[in-house]
Amino acid sequence: MPLVPMRLVLDHAAANNYGVAALNVNNMEQIQAIMEAARETDSPVIIQASRGARSYAQENYLRHLMLAAAELYPELPVVMHQDHGNSPSTCYSAIRNGFTSVMMDGSLLEDAKTPAPYEYNVKVSREVVQVAHALNVSVEGEVGCLGTVGQTKSDAPKVASTEPHDADLEQEPEPEMAHLTDPDEAERFVAETKVDALAVAIGTSHGAYKFTAQPTGEVLKMSLIEEIHRRLPNTHLVMHGSSSVPQELQDIINKNGGKIHQTWGVPVEEIQRGIKHGVRKINVDTDNRLAMTAAIREVFMKSPEKFDPRDYLKPAREAMKKICIARMVSFGQAGNASKMRAAKLF
């Protein structure tokens, strides 16, 4: 049974000091790109779907795509994770649809934008843990609110806010509401809820427009990760919004008729520093989106006569696979699927 609970993969990652990329999907090509990258690098896999992805793909398509992945790659452990569940019922419907891990994001209320009181967060997270654990499903919680420090929403280019709202880019709290994770609260929260993994807010945000300059220790609080890990050595930490937003991809998009405003992501070296201090799951979505878009734009510009979707979806899939391979190698998960198999973990 290669669909496995996230706890299994993250426990192995913790015991062997590596991190695992959690990669978002909406469609078949993205799942294929991830699975091929994982096979090539012998990596355990975390695939995640947001509420937006579940509604875009529809539950049945998504479930069968995941089952196809598990069937075609029996040598790889695959986690299917609900990204940013906004309520217990979202988490339960994910579990009914075969997800082996859920995030109950009680840091925000059910509207997924209003910061929630701590007591609310504990209540919903604890409830989901009780149900999920009984079904061998893992749970990720979140303390603190994602956003950016040292950057206000008005710094982000207008194009970001005029994009049609995509439920994947979870509506974020206004910057003044965004707050970093308080280590005391994190410690209490884990004791009170028993979550398997904890997302921490350290200054990253979702989407492409994370930082208006190369991030420094002032805006990206890696030291906070170290502090939380010192207090919670047995909790798997999760970094959200951790795309690196490669300059090269921004350039390809812009050279081919795109309009991405100059932006900076989370440097891979900072993520590697996090992995040394308890970060086990790293959420990456934007980099894959950029890679696919760059490849598609290139085909459209260079070969305007083409109209078979495979002519641009194949290069798009290939480009996403390349990013996935790069992340799997730099996070250290490469080479670990066979070790998990040898240890009879799945």
Decide: 248 and 290 in contact? Cβ < 8 Å: no
CA separation for the pair 215, 236 (Å, rounded): 24
Q: Give the nearest distance from C-beta 281 to Zn ion in angstroms.
A: 11
The site for Zn ion, by CB under 5 A, has a size of 1
Decide: 51 and 32 in contact? Cβ < 8 Å: no
**Tokens, residue 132:** 């999920």
Q: Of 270 and 298, which CB lies nearer to Zn ion in the complex structure? A: 270
Site for Zn ion in 224-253 (CB under 5 A): 240
For residue 253, the cross-strand partners are: none
Residue 12, interface with Zn ion (CB under 5 A)? no
Q: Catalytic: which of 83, 105, 168, 285?
A: 83
Decide: 110 and 149 in contact? Cβ < 8 Å: no
Instruction: Report residue 210 CA to chain centroid gap.
Output: 15
Q: Give the nearest distance from C-beta 238 to Zn ion in angstroms.
A: 8
State yes or no: is 83 an active-site residue.
yes
Q: Of 221 and 297, which CB lies nearer to Zn ion in the complex structure? A: 221
Burial call 307-338: b when 16+ CB within 10 Å, e when fewer: eeeeebbebbbebbbebbbbbbebbbbbebbe
Q: Of 210 and 240, which CB lies nearer to Zn ion in the complex structure? A: 240
Q: Give the nearest distance from C-beta 204 to Zn ion in angstroms.
A: 9
Minimal CB distance to Zn ion: which residue?
240
Q: Of 36 and 140, which CB lies nearer to Zn ion in the complex structure? A: 140
Q: Of 263 and 336, which CB lies nearer to Zn ion in the complex structure? A: 263
> In 136-266, where does DSSP find H-type helix?
158-162, 183-193, 222-231, 247-255
Residue 317, interface with Zn ion (CB under 5 A)? no
Q: Give the nearest distance from C-beta 184 to Zn ion in angstroms.
A: 23
Q: Which amino acid is at 266?
A: V
Decide: 142 and 107 in contact? Cβ < 8 Å: yes
CA separation for the pair 245, 243 (Å, rounded): 6
Q: Give the nearest distance from C-beta 314 to Zn ion in angstroms.
A: 29
Question: What are the DSSP E strand ranges found in the chain?
Answer: 20-24, 45-49, 78-85, 101-104, 138-143, 197-200, 236-239, 279-284
Site string for Zn ion, 189-228 (x = CB under 5 A): ----------------------------------------
- Nearest alpha carbon to residue 141 among 158, 127, 161: 127
Residue 289, interface with Zn ion (CB under 5 A)? no
Q: Of 240 and 281, which CB lies nearer to Zn ion in the complex structure? A: 240
Q: Give the nearest distance from C-beta 47 to Zn ion in angstroms.
A: 15
Indicate which residues carry an active-site annotation.
83
Residues that bind Zn ion (CB under 5 A): 240
